[in-house]
Amino acid sequence: MILMKKRAVFLDRDGVINKDLLTNKGRLKIFPNAGKAVKMLNDLGFVMVVVTNQPQIAKGIQREADVRRTNREIVRKLNKSGGRIDGVYYCPHHPEKRTDIPDWARKYRIKCRCRKPGIGMMERAAEKFNVDV
């Protein structure tokens, strides 16, 4: 049996689905029509994937658990308004070498393939969801 490749839409997170948390004083605010827009794309048969750079982890501002919690809340709010997100991928890295960050964050100060405009997150999602790229 041959599996047909699927179509997908890759969405950024901050500034596309929600207001940027850093400029919105850390409060999560989903854009009013985001759920409706995601549902429209769901209804057209698209796999919906969020791909987002989250350099505040590498900067020592937030931990990965904080970002995962925010991602879950975004997915929950979109689901509540009828939209379905199939996967969320985030890059915690930042290529700039710095020493004025907490020790725990230093491991994230690397050049990677996942940080956009790199395509690592999209490649992982495409493989998982059998997406025609």
Residues carrying an active site annotation: 12, 14
* Terminal alpha carbon distance of the chain: 21
What is the three-class DSSP state of 50? Answer: strand
Q: How far apart are CA 24 and CA 62, in angstroms?
A: 15
Say which amino acid occupies 127.
E
Which residue's structure tokens are 């996942």? 114
- State the CB neighbour count (10 A cutoff) for residue 20: 11
